[in-house]
Amino acid sequence: MKKLLTLLSVVLGLSIALNAQNTFSLNIDSTDARLSDVLDSFTAQTGVTFSFERSLGDVVLPKVHVSLSNAPLERLLSEVLAGSGIEWKVSGMTVALSGAKVNSPAAQKQWVGTVVDSEGNPLPGVAVFVAGAISSGSITNDQGIFNIKASPEDDIQFSCLGYESRSIKASSSQLKRVVLKDEAEVLQTAVVTALGIKRDEKSIGYSAQKVEGDMFVNSATTGNWINGMAGQVAGLNIDRSSSPDGTMRVTVRGESSADLENNTALFVVDGVPMYNSATQSDTGEGSIYAIDYGNGLADIDPNNIESVTVLKGAAATALYGSQAANGAIIITTKNAESQDAVFRVSIKSSFAADKVLASPDLQYTYGQGTAGLPYYYYLVSGEGDDVAGINPRPDYVSTSGMESWGPKLDGTPYYQYYNVAEGIGGHVNQYGDFVRDATPFVSYGDWFQNYFQTGLNFSNSIVMSGKIGKDNSVRVSFTNNTVNGIVPNSPSMTNFLAVRTTSRLAKWLKMETSVNYRNTRKDNIPVSSGYGSTAIMYSLWCYAPNIDMKWPSFYWKDKEAVQQDASLSGGKNNAYFLAYEGINNQKRDRVYGNVVFNADLAKGLTLMARGGLDIITDFRTQRQATSTQAKPQGWYREQTIGSKQYSGDFLLKYNTRFAGDFEFTGNIGGSIIWRSYSNHSQTAGALNIPGVYSLVNTSYEPKTANSSYVRQTNSLYGMLSLSWKNAIFLDVTGRNDWSSTLPAGHRSFFYPSVSGSISLNDLFEFGRTNGLVNLMKIRASWAQVGNDTAPYRVANYLQGTGFPGTVALPATRVNSNLRPEIVSSWEVGLELRMFKNRFTLDAAYYDAVTKDLISQMPVSYANGVNYMYVNAGSIRNRGVELSATGTLVKTRDLQWKVGLNYTMNRNTVVSLGEGIDSWIIASYSTHAYMIAYEGGSLTSMYGKGYVRAPEGSTAITAEGKMVDVSGLPVLDNQNLYQTGTELQYLGDCAPDWKGGFNTTLKWKDLSLYIGFDGQVGGHVYSYTNWVLNYRGKGTATLEGREGGLVPVGVRLLPDGNYVVNTTAIDPANIATFYHNKYEQTNGEANFVSTQFLKLREVRLEYSLPKKLLAKTKVLSGASFSVYGNNIWCWSDFPGFDPEGVTMRGSAVIPGFEILQMPSTAQFGGSISLTF
């Protein structure tokens, strides 16, 4: 650690040393003043003297406006001399000026020219400006003509949205007629690859797919920028926790390890790996469900994303090593370096509203209660005692509860919910006593939607960016997001502040800095999904259509606010009580950033050195009010989570050409990543005074829980690249890691990669000249990536137990022989660009085998532990990825583009380790399992099914015919379906294939974007399905409530023969019938398809024409957009959203949908102005 700090201080110290010279204050404000006059003033104020040729003193500086205090000399000089072309050299307190190019106003000229596109059409509205100059430049008129003042040596820059930017010397003859190429014709060649190395796309031998920043413009109001990635990238899979603003699980190219938490992609922001994992805060009820605080992915402001590159295979990520084994997502943030003006301010405001996307098929015909009983009464069994006196009729029994098998909602008067204070369900008689009334038993409609409110999202951001001289740029952005969630009482606010600078400190040295700050304040994060008593959905599923959702909103039973009224939810927590009293809040701050130095050391030799840090502090409080089901005496917890990451890395690069056509690039680099994490909590297990949440207000000593870790990875790596004729490319990489998390003998591990590509159209003539084939590239790669593990899995230790002075074993056995895991993969691909790049295609086939995976292997409890860390198993993922774009129509005013992508992944368990042929990857209670068998897929789902007549079974019908009854369900002696005891294969939770389709239509300044995506195949075990049918909430349970029904199936006679069932179920027994049909332990009954097609996004955007903007003099850009996200979903999925999975513990586990939250459709609009 000390060494790391030393390194950091050297890196950081260097930047300080370069800046922290003597500082001065200077105040000059002059127009068209002579240089010598300005410098006199400079000397008078600072004591700095100047030496220069006499003629230089006559140079006129058009505008000097400097007002600085305590600034370094370099800064003052650059301010004063900016744009003058005068160079300086500092030597102590003397500055030597050289004016090789004297830029007197006389030397400046008016330059006139025309800007046209490649077809010769004039381009209006093109920004024209002098590079590095302070003057604001100009804009081409209707005829594409510009007029600008500059000296002959100046570079004049041209930039226009949708066209390639150009820079031309003022004196050049090309200035008369400037041709700007359409962006589509220009190959998007630069791709950011591992370690931030920018490569020509044609030269890389693996798949890297880029998503431009404008895909994320609407993400600000969706809580997470990653929403903008949906359907954009072949091979990418996003599992969303259904909690609002919840955890996102991003995987690339399938599940590669039996440890599902280990399969997520690495995120890298501006070259530094980002710490991402979520920290769980359980609710004191076990970890089947948890409060979802989201993971670190949300910490990136979508407004700042320049582009995102997805590096998919091992060859692409081999240089990132550990943790990039499952792909890497490289985020580049915006800086001001290449912006087209000296100073810009842009403002963006968005507003969006969220509505529950859709409800399941709910029935509104029958109310709460028990089948077969002709009356309704709202109290819960066992609570009757307390209000015996008020009960109006003696024969009323407690028949409500969380199920909906009650009487028909036909307006029959029943004694229902009553509330004396609110005057509901009764009246005050002449003596002033409250008397209950029988009121019509009717449906109040969609109780789900009536509970949720319209969510509101506001996002406001301001970006200021400027260039200081030729060599420096600064971009500062601030964004505020304010959200009111769909769950009542769940407001939150987020502030993002980001600063990016680039500066050329010396001719040979460039510095870039990036600092990001995100501050989150969530006033209440409801436990939204999951089967546990404090989850909103758990409560909500207890309500029924006979309840006016206004009723439970009076959630206190007593005036003293001590006892909740849980009667309408069958004794489970009142959903409003949870939202308003079970408050979980969070105050989180994260600062991350880095400083990068790029030095040109010699011809072809460059060095990059970078230092990064990432600090998170997270303070959470959790409340459970007195009378909460699980915490009858109330409960309060404070939790402080902190994490720090320091990283330092360098890369030395040498590039040379030799033997004419050969180019060689060598990279050597190294990095250190040090991370610490701590989690401290204190819990008051019972409150002394109800409603007071403080660790002081506790009936007994607060319980503390602490955990922490420190880990470090050191690495050295290298890459050799060789190319011939810029057409054949070969890369070889190698990396060695040293990880503190592995046992001493296995800490060091090495892994290589080889990749190559051939640009065929550079070698052979394919009609490049006539624009038929612009690029035809084939690529191939093979690579290994090593991976370490989490801390403290290699040394045995004992845990505390909560009882002083005692210990217990952890339930997972550590393993002191753990080896690093190695992923090997190869891939081939083809890239094609045709018809002036109007058609592009990228195809890839990959085959990745992961071996020696470090996994928490389930072992028999008889071992005294239930898991053990092992290196075991081998898993293969093979797949095809296709993406294509086409510009179908392209005229001056109209453009129509379409994009398509397709992903198909096949997962196979090759082996599971010595003597093991199956492995439970994940499970939910005993209801459903994800089990890996050798030869099967890792994501195979198993569960119990109906007892069915075996193959070849026959039965005699009433008519005396013999019929084949193989596979029909076998009913028991009560005519009920039976669940078998053996697990059977149910299906796969991974889809057969996924695809995305998007189209952009542009007409003049109006553009319309529509994006669809979906999947074919895929299943989950659904608790929502169970609760819909088991509790009589869904339309599927309407059949047979009156008149009964004849269950389809056979019965086994004592003699071993079958008979087809003809006996009907009595309506009084209908609940029992459905209970058995949809028993939660019956995986088959609750296994549902997640196939879907979603209208993911529609966006209509209008940008004010440049002409109009030019007239305003101040505005340089203005656009307005309206959009909708997650607008429609076509699916047979019975719950809310086929994509919604549930947060369990600190991870999102696919394959199990445990009472998800409804997903939302969002509609919004935004205004964006740039000055």
Query: Quick one: which of 507, 479, 472 has its CA closest to 493?
Result: 479
Q: Map residues 12-51 to x or -, x wherever contact with other proteins holds by CB under 8 A.
A: --x-------------------------------------
Stretch that binds other proteins, among 62-70, 128-136, 796-804, 1141-1149 (CB under 8 A): 796-804
Q: Does 196 bind other proteins (CB under 8 A)?
A: no
From CA 1060, how far away is CA 1049, in angstroms rounded?
6
Among 156, 194, 785, 931, binds other proteins (CB under 8 A): 931
Question: Is residue 636 within 8 Å of 624, Cβ to Cβ?
Answer: yes
The amino acid at 1061: N
- Which of the residues 984 through 1013 are near other proteins (CB under 8 A)? none
In sequence order, the β-bridge partners of residue 621 are 585, 638
> CB-wise, 225 or 377, nearer to other proteins?
377
Least CB distance to other proteins at residue 623 (A): 16
From CA 657, how far away is CA 473, in angstroms rounded?
32
Helix (H, G, I), strand (E, B) or coil at 561: coil
> CB-wise, 804 or 960, nearer to other proteins?
804
From CA 926, how far away is CA 1080, in angstroms rounded?
9
> CB-wise, 216 or 415, nearer to other proteins?
415
Question: Is residue 1145 within 8 Å of 280, Cβ to Cβ?
Answer: yes
Helix (H, G, I), strand (E, B) or coil at 997: strand
> CB-wise, 390 or 499, nearer to other proteins?
390
Among 225, 415, 551, 919, binds other proteins (CB under 8 A): 919
Those residues whose C-beta lies under 8 Å from the C-beta of residue 972, and which sit 6 or more positions away, are 978, 1051
Q: How many CB atoms lie within 10 A of CB 1050?
A: 24
Among 3, 198, 408, 725, binds other proteins (CB under 8 A): 3
Q: Map residues 1106-1145 to x or -, x wherever contact with other proteins holds by CB under 8 A.
A: ----------------------------------------
Among 815, 1022, 1024, 1156, binds other proteins (CB under 8 A): 815
Stretch that binds other proteins, among 98-106, 199-207, 564-572, 960-968 (CB under 8 A): 564-572
Q: Map residues 620-659 to x or -, x wherever contact with other proteins holds by CB under 8 A.
A: ---------xxxxx--------------x-x-x-------
> CB-wise, 574 or 1116, nearer to other proteins?
574
Query: Quick one: which of 99, 119, 104, 115 has its CA closest to 51?
Result: 99
Among 226, 578, 870, 1010, binds other proteins (CB under 8 A): 870
Query: Quick one: which of 739, 875, 876 has its CA closest to 819?
Result: 739
The amino acid at 260: L
Q: Which residue carries 């009010």 as its tokens?
A: 625
Question: Is residue 754 within 8 Å of 731, Cβ to Cβ?
Answer: yes
Among 826, 869, 924, 1092, binds other proteins (CB under 8 A): 869
Dihedral-angle region of residue 1039 (phi above 0 means left; psi in -120 to 50 means alpha; beta otherwise): beta
Those residues whose C-beta lies under 8 Å from the C-beta of residue 13, and which sit 6 or more positions away, are none
- Which of the residues 269 through 328 are near other proteins (CB under 8 A)? 285
Among 710, 763, 910, 1167, binds other proteins (CB under 8 A): 710
> CB-wise, 12 or 1008, nearer to other proteins?
12
Stretch that binds other proteins, among 45-53, 226-234, 861-869, 1091-1099 (CB under 8 A): 861-869
From CA 1036, how far away is CA 441, in angstroms rounded?
22
Q: Does 795 bind other proteins (CB under 8 A)?
A: yes
Question: Is residue 686 within 8 Å of 286, Cβ to Cβ?
Answer: no
Among 741, 998, 1090, 1131, binds other proteins (CB under 8 A): 741
> CB-wise, 233 or 909, nearer to other proteins?
909
Q: Does 809 bind other proteins (CB under 8 A)?
A: yes
> CB-wise, 496 or 1073, nearer to other proteins?
1073
In sequence order, the β-bridge partners of residue 1024 are none
Among 92, 659, 797, 1056, binds other proteins (CB under 8 A): 797
Q: Does 740 bind other proteins (CB under 8 A)?
A: yes
Q: Does 1087 bind other proteins (CB under 8 A)?
A: no
From CA 180, how far away is CA 126, in angstroms rounded?
10
Among 102, 347, 599, 963, binds other proteins (CB under 8 A): 599
From CA 243, how far away is CA 1141, in angstroms rounded?
9
Stretch that binds other proteins, among 287-295, 429-437, 947-955, 1064-1072 (CB under 8 A): 1064-1072
Query: Quick one: which of 587, 474, 476 has its CA closest to 523?
Result: 587
> CB-wise, 132 or 284, nearer to other proteins?
284
Q: Does 193 bind other proteins (CB under 8 A)?
A: no
Q: How many CB atoms lie within 10 A of CB 1108?
A: 13
Q: Does 568 bind other proteins (CB under 8 A)?
A: no
Q: Does 543 bind other proteins (CB under 8 A)?
A: no
Stretch that binds other proteins, among 551-559, 599-607, 832-840, 985-993 (CB under 8 A): 599-607
Least CB distance to other proteins at residue 564 (A): 11
From CA 1031, how far away is CA 250, in angstroms rounded?
34
- Which of the residues 770 through 789 are near other proteins (CB under 8 A)? none
Among 363, 584, 1069, 1170, binds other proteins (CB under 8 A): 1069
User: H-helix or E-strand containing 130?
Assistant: strand 127-130
Least CB distance to other proteins at residue 861 (A): 4
Question: Which of 989-1014 are b and which e, b meaning 16 or more Cβ less than 10 Å from the residue's Cβ?
Answer: bbbebbbbbbbbbbeebebebbbbbb
- Which of the residues 453 through 492 are near other proteins (CB under 8 A)? none
- Which of the residues 348 through 407 are near other proteins (CB under 8 A)? 370-373, 380-385, 388-389, 391, 393-397, 399, 401, 403
From CA 614, how far away is CA 514, in angstroms rounded?
11
**The two structure tokens encoding residue 905:** 């992944």
Among 16, 744, 958, 1114, binds other proteins (CB under 8 A): 744
Least CB distance to other proteins at residue 931 (A): 6
Q: Does 976 bind other proteins (CB under 8 A)?
A: yes
Number of residues that bind other proteins (CB under 8 A): 141
Least CB distance to other proteins at residue 284 (A): 8
Those residues whose C-beta lies under 8 Å from the C-beta of residue 607, and which sit 6 or more positions away, are 597, 598, 599, 601, 650, 651, 652, 653
Least CB distance to other proteins at residue 560 (A): 16
- Which of the residues 936 through 955 are near other proteins (CB under 8 A)? 944
From CA 368, how far away is CA 1031, in angstroms rounded?
9
Question: Can you list the pairs that 68-71 forms with residues at least 24 positions away whose Cβ atoms lie under 8 Å?
Answer: 68/24, 68/25, 68/26, 68/27, 69/25, 70/23, 70/24, 70/25, 71/23, 71/24, 71/25, 71/26
Question: Is residue 475 within 8 Å of 500, Cβ to Cβ?
Answer: yes
Among 792, 967, 1048, 1063, binds other proteins (CB under 8 A): 792
> CB-wise, 914 or 959, nearer to other proteins?
914
Least CB distance to other proteins at residue 741 (A): 7
**The two structure tokens encoding residue 516:** 């990001």
Q: Map residues 214-243 to x or -, x wherever contact with other proteins holds by CB under 8 A.
A: ------------------------------
> CB-wise, 90 or 131, nearer to other proteins?
90
